[in-house]
Amino acid sequence: MDTQTLVKEICPTTTQQWVANGALLVDVREKEEVAQLAYDVPKIINIPLGEFEQRYTEIPKDKDVVVVCRSGGRSLRAAGFLVNHGYTQVVNMQHGMIRWAQKGFPTTGDTSSVLDNTQDTGCCST
């Protein structure tokens, strides 16, 4: 059986703290998704999941990295890929842009695509 390394996950509130401390956000959503609604944080890069295996070396190994997407699934896959390729300072943000926007954290664009028909279930404290 293959050995799997578990990926640490943090909530959007903790992600805010990581960003304040200089962490790099890596958004693995498609370019069209980012054009519609983006995380408004410094030091964010977009590497769509479909390009991730070819471009992951653009992510520095010596920085704290938080991988993000729309709901947390694609970013979890990407974070696991990074961990299995020698990255030690990488975490996944649970619940993605959906929870980020619900919490009122900084975005640019139209939040209606993630806020319509969603409900804040309180994954983390405010």
Between the alpha carbon of residue 116 and those of residues 6, 35, 84, 110, 123, the distances in Å are: 32, 18, 36, 11, 18
Q: Is residue 11 annotated as part of the catalytic site, yes or no? A: no
Of 11, 69, 123, 124, which residue is the catalytic one?
69
Alpha carbons within 13 A on the beta-carbon side of 17: 7
Q: Which residues are catalytic?
A: 69
